[in-house]
Homo-oligomer: A and B are copies of this chain.
Amino acid sequence: MSVRTPDPYPGWLSDEDLHEARQRLPIAYVEAIPVRVDPLGYVSEVGLLYTADAEAQFRFAFVSGRIMYRETIRGALTRHIEQDLGPLAMPQLPPSPVPFTVAEYFPSPSETGLTDERQHAVALCYIVPVRGECNPRRDALDLHWMSPEAALSADVQSELPGGRGNLIKQALAHVGWCS
């Protein structure tokens, strides 16, 4: 690290250094599950990003990404939601910083049941009502809105990799959803 030329973005990591850091440190993440709510606040729909991975397999994904150096949690959430859902999503960030759960992803199987082969990530997970129009960008092909029942169905659960299906269950349990 010490011999390279001055970093043009002091405080941020090059891709290479980030790759190395991911083998050495837990990486702080935020994850957002976008939802539509009815006027009483009941969750009517869950939004999942639909992506294709390197092997052209289709997968569902959450809005998700790293907290950057000197970035607040709210800043990171807002940035990733805008990157993933577009600038018109009108997300309603919760007034409390307390996440509905903390997801621990490990590069190999562990007691948490969550895996991410790239890294050990500690992800603060939030349920975020969005009121506006969502236009998925970045890596996503689409944003699928579905009922809570559908989000818990075997079909959808099987396309949520790395144990993320369980996080949907936790999110819906947190909002008191009943089958």
Q: A73-B102, A169-B169 are in contact. Are A43 and B120 (CB under 8 A)?
A: no
Min Cβ gap A62→B in Å is: 16
Number of interface residues of A (CB under 8 A): 67
Q: For the complex, is A175 an interface residue (Cβ under 8 Å from B)?
A: yes
A10-B23, A21-B24 known, 9 other contacts, Cβ within 8 Å: A1-B1, A2-B20, A26-B71, A40-B93, A43-B95, A69-B120, A92-B92, A95-B174, A174-B174
Q: Identify which of B75, B95, B97 contacts A129 (C-beta below 8 A).
A: B95
Q: Interface SS of chain A: helix, strand, loop or mixed? A: loop
Q: Identify which of B27, B112, B179 contacts A72 (C-beta below 8 A).
A: B112
List the interface of chain A (C-beta within 8 A of B). Answer: 1-2, 10-13, 17, 20-21, 23-28, 35, 37, 39-43, 67-75, 78, 92-102, 104, 106-107, 110-114, 120, 122, 124, 127, 129, 163, 166, 169-170, 172-176, 178-179
